Structure 1
């Protein structure tokens, strides 16, 4: 798979994420996609397969009234791509023992994308 196709798949995924378009997020993913989210060095969420990923995406969608990922940089990383991400969002719900609905959050991190068969097969988010 060429670099241009990989970059296009990542752009489609992130554009759909920003638009809260779950079906659009799933379109570039392989049926057996592996997802991991790491925060502060600890895994906070993971899924194996597109149905489990959909469940996580639906859950996360309801937590924010607004959210946006911006790619600060995108570079080859082994057989995949590494995106440096600037993220911001506004909570739609109160977090128990945490921030209240309406709180704006911002963080920087990276997302590692793996590819096979013309699809994204792995996403590892780290912040």
Structure 2
């Protein structure tokens, strides 16, 4: 979480397996899938330019066998205009859930739901 809030991609991905699978779900539908640490880092570097500031705050943690689910409050200020009509300088506030799946003490899958 700290790495994400600080825009530090290396810190953010430190505990990820090289074969990480990232999925983003919005309204129950997958709108992005990224396979592998190199592609995830590339996407994370690109995404840094989208926000002036961003902060995730964990509000709940639940552990289930090889998975950990966290509930998140997310606040960001946009650095660019988005195709969906959101404008630079607007504040974005969301609630979401991230599910981390572990294998050999590394994160092998991350699913973000909003």
1 or 2, which has the higher helix percentage?
1
For each residue in 1:95-117, what CA deviation from the matched residue of structure 2 results, as whole angstroms up to 9, or x when unmatched? 12411100000010100001111
Give the Å deviation of 1:78: 3.8
2:17–2:106 contact (8 Å) kept in structure 1 = yes
Cα distance, 1:32–1:110 mapped onto 2, change above 3 Å: same
What TM-score do you get using the length of structure 1 for normalisation? Answer: 0.85
Of Structure 1 and Structure 2, which has the larger fraction of its residues in strand? 2
Q: Which residue of 1 aligns with 2:41?
A: 54
1:64 aligned residue: 51
Partners of 1:95 and 1:72 in 2: how far apart? 27
Structure 1 consecutive aligned stretches of length 4 or more whose deviation exceeds 4 Å: none
* TM-score, normalisation: structure 2: 0.95
User: Does structure 1 conserve the Cα–Cα contact (< 8 Å) formed by 2:66 and 2:103?
Assistant: no
The Cα shift of 1:122 comes to: 0.8
Q: For this pair of structures, how many residues does the alignment match? A: 114
Q: Any gaps of 5 or more consecutive residues in structure 1?
A: 1-13
